[in-house]
Structure 1
Amino acid sequence: MSNEDDNAVQHAGLSRSAVVIGGGITGLATAGLLAREGYTVTLLEKQPVVGGRAGLWESQGFRFDTGPSWYLMPEVFDHFFRLMGTSAFDQLDLVRLDPGYRVFFEGEPQPIAITSDRQENIDLFESLEPTSGLRLSRYLDSATDTYEMAKKRFLYSTFESFRPLLRWDVLKRLPTLARLLLQSLDRRAAGTVRDDRLRQILGYPAVFLGSSPFTTPSMYHLMSHLDMTDGVYYPMGGFTTIIDRIATLATDAGVEIRTSSAVDRIVVDDGKVTGVQFANGNYLAADLVVSTADLHHSETQLLPEKYQTYPEKYWRSRTSGPGAMLLYLGVEGDLPELEHHTLLFARDWRANFDAIFGAETRIPDTASLYICKPSGVDPAVAPEGHSNVFVLVPIPADPSLTDLDALGDRVIDQIAEWVGIPDLASRIVLRRTVGPADFERDLNAWKGSALGPAHVLKQSAFFRGTNKSRKVEGLLYAGSSSIPGIGLPMCLISAELVIKRLRGDTSTEALPEPAVASAMRDERRTDTERAS
């Protein structure tokens, strides 16, 4: 038996049972890691298939990823796969996108393309705004430093103890960290570039975080390291391939996956979890329950009030991420005007975000939106001679916004005009619309949010909450509404934090990888060096 196996027995005990609620990427990853930790694991998913937000919709030969579509932070994916005894190299066929994305601006004749090469992006900024190249270089240096610090000290921490944060590399950065937390991302961008287009490019990653650049802390300028330096990737077959691979690894590790199994209640006896109950009254016992469902739903719907760490009154002061109208479009013919990732930005940036996040929310008059066209890289996602187009329009998180067809018509016309595809509407052969009410019904999402609680200051890092119930022994949480936050890489880290919590591991670093996986990585590095 290996040292890793010894640790698994020590930390979990081979006879212990665990139930994981939710079959999205977090639930599948958590279940797989728990099984390797020695637990007997049952995963329960209320839908007929796993995937959650990262689902799959197929119709008339088209295959649509229903949610996440940006593959960023590749090292986080690879680290998770290595924890499972394999690697991203073995599990996925990744393509690096170049350009990473193209941006169209309201009233501007020419789009701007961001590449996967840092120096090319610096040169691009310089060509559009003299002297901005040097400022962008410094911005990206800071973004890289902040990103590496976040990975080393914050993202992989349960914040069960703050003593591990009292390191010199953190302490010497305290003045900088304070400034990054108190300054908005938009203000940081405005201090770097004057051109409104470039300012929007630096500020838009706030949307990945379910927030507005005017309220997102500038610490998250680290996101620009991901797209401008690290590059943007795509897993061939779509993001559902990631779900399929992780589900297979989980079942191979011994996890039992039960779909069409909605949990009605987390059962607690004298402050200790004993299992879960289904809507039909059936009961499944467990020593440990990990809910990767929406945290608001888990707390306010699955637990009696006296056992709620985050009761309804807590959520009244929280800030939700945006809702979204999603359009899945099957289009006849090619669409060379669109990159794999294409962004359309409205001129009045602040008004656009105020409409979504302000006191009086409404659908923006002119939408800023995102388009994904995976068929340009992956012909398997659309019938021959057709294009697969996914459109995401941020709107208020409001399940009452149900009649979105008229908005969809406006958005299609907007894309046709801005991008230069005048016959787009007439070429659409398949169309489906999804909105906040669907997110609330299918995913139990708080307020119908497409992402989860926004990454404003009071909901970032240790302010985001705890992944352990304070009132129920044996109940843990994971997922985009828990720590560390929104996005597929964060969800994989969230699964790992469950294991760290169970082990009592208060370190800030990622878990050590199994020796076999590390050897695989070193062998591939050697092979690459030989080939070059």
Structure 2
Amino acid sequence: MQAMKVAVVGGGLGGLTAAALLARGGCEVTLYERSKHLGGRAQTTEVEGFRFNLGPHALYRAGAAMRVLGRLGVKPPGGIPGAGSYALRAGRLHTLPSGPVTLMTTDVLSLAGKLEVARLLAGLARIDTAPLGPLSTREWLDTRLAREDSRALVGALVRVATYCADHTVLSAQVAVKQLQSAVAANVLYVDGGWSTLVDAVERQGREAGARLELSARVDAVVLRGSRVEGVRLADGTVHAADAVVVAGSPAEVAALVPGDAVLAREAREAIPIKAATLELGLSTLPRPGALFALGVDGPWYASVHSASARLAPEGGAMVHVAKYLGGSDTEPSESELESVMDAFQPGWRAHVVARRFRPALTVSAGLPQAAKGGLSG
């Protein structure tokens, strides 16, 4: 029997993974990537020995991505962060609760707040997330937690787990699922950056027989009625396919199938998750004991990724600072992120070897909205 021909559009980590799995399943797979490089948002570049990801990346050890990588035989190298964690409030560092002892000793929570958060975390794994789809994260926080300090801390944990600051829109189903995954097994910072994963999955795909075409922009999915016939490239050539997998944003998918009302509506209604990021390669870390800071009174994040993964030259530090964007807050300034670094690593400016500022990095093309039923939407 002739193998099914599948065209995969998009050479990011999602497209590469789809191509590898389909090829392993016996399909004749061709992947088309419009740029000269594979990886998409999982690309990593090296500057002066520092490995720069496109913003802070973390692989959830209990998440779906890790399970799929395991199916492909890919075991990501890296380390698990945890030590040197702080809460950032009013421009000062405080103990970030990460266990029973730090929960009881931190001053970011009142005694009543500590008991409330302890009860929530103790029962977190048992929460059924299915009914939470149409409930916003803000509504869930207000329902489950009576105290403002408790809501601020758990809201901060949701931000770091989802990259999303707009809790009035984000489905509580996704927020709780991500919290459950983080608490269950933490995350992994990957040695060499996420290009390590891209290279490993690319290798698996090629070994399984997938063809990877670079600088090959797909302009349209070719249909005859409702049946897929192939893809048309920018140079006008048509390549036959029995099925097409598009690993892209809702807008990119809709553009490939013009006239499809459902896809057009999904593209119009999609809300991207964005973050402003400041990425720093430092010759040394001014405050070696401070490795992670999470804003509880603002959407801030700072982490020394090189403390857990090989991302910097000997003695150096690769630091990611971010502001989670959402709602009307869409124009952050670089100085805001510098102020976070001033609190996190005083004196850091004297040690900068390389830096990058990204004012509006797209983390995900589609925020799971409560108004759409969460993951079911």
TM-score (norm 2): 0.85
State the shift of 1:325 in Å.
2.4
Match for 1:369 among 274, 278, 300? 300
Match for 2:358 among 434, 440, 447? 434
| 1:289 alignment partner in structure 2 | 244
Gaps of 5+ in 1: 1-12, 155-176, 350-367, 440-448, 465-532
Change (3 A) 1:335 1:48: farther
What's the Cα RMSD here?
A: 3.1
Q: Which amino acid aligns with 1:203?
A: G
- 2:319 partner SS: strand
Cα separation, 2, equivalents of 1:67 and 1:410: 16
Change (3 A) 1:214 1:125: farther
Question: Is the Cα–Cα contact under 8 Å of residues 312 and 318 in structure 2 kept in the other structure?
Answer: yes
- More off after superposition, 63-72 vs 215-224: 215-224
Deviation >6 Å, runs of 4+: none
- 1:309 partner SS: helix
Q: Which amino acid aligns with 1:429?
A: V
| 1:256 alignment partner in structure 2 | 211
Q: What percent of counterpart residues are identical?
A: 22
Match for 2:19 among 21, 24, 31? 31
| 2:124 alignment partner in structure 1 | 143
| 1:112 alignment partner in structure 2 | 95
Cα separation, 1, equivalents of 2:345 and 2:27: 55
| 2:76 alignment partner in structure 1 | 92
How many residue pairs get aligned? The number is 372
* 1:330 equivalent in alignment to 2:281: yes
Which structure 2 residues correspond to residues 403-422 of structure 1 after superposition, within 5 A? 407-412=333-338, 414-421=339-346
Q: Which amino acid aligns with 2:354?
A: L
Q: Which amino acid aligns with 1:29?
A: T
- More off after superposition, 266-275 vs 225-234: 225-234
Cα separation, 2, equivalents of 1:68 and 1:410: 17
Question: Is the Cα–Cα contact under 8 Å of residues 47 and 260 in structure 1 kept in the other structure?
Answer: yes
- Structure ranking higher in strand proportion: 2
Cα separation, 1, equivalents of 2:6 and 2:286: 48
* 1:237 equivalent in alignment to 2:173: no
Change (3 A) 1:123 1:253: farther
State the shift of 1:38 in Å.
1.2
State the shift of 1:217 in Å.
3.6
| 1:72 alignment partner in structure 2 | 60
State the shift of 1:134 in Å.
4.4
Gaps of 5+ in 2: none
Cα separation, 2, equivalents of 1:261 and 1:201: 46
| 1:185 alignment partner in structure 2 | 137
Question: Is the Cα–Cα contact under 8 Å of residues 59 and 188 in structure 2 kept in the other structure?
Answer: yes
| 1:456 alignment partner in structure 2 | 369
State the shift of 1:415 in Å.
2.2
State the shift of 1:77 in Å.
4.0
State the shift of 1:386 in Å.
2.4
State the shift of 1:35 in Å.
1.0
Question: Is the Cα–Cα contact under 8 Å of residues 19 and 42 in structure 1 kept in the other structure?
Answer: yes
Higher relative contact order (CA 8 A, sep 6+): 2
TM-score (norm 1): 0.62
Deviations 1:13-37 (A, max 9, x none): 6521111111112111111111122
Cα separation, 1, equivalents of 2:177 and 2:366: 19
Cα separation, 1, equivalents of 2:185 and 2:9: 33
- 1:74 partner SS: coil
Change (3 A) 1:395 1:225: closer
| 2:262 alignment partner in structure 1 | 309
State the shift of 1:314 in Å.
4.7
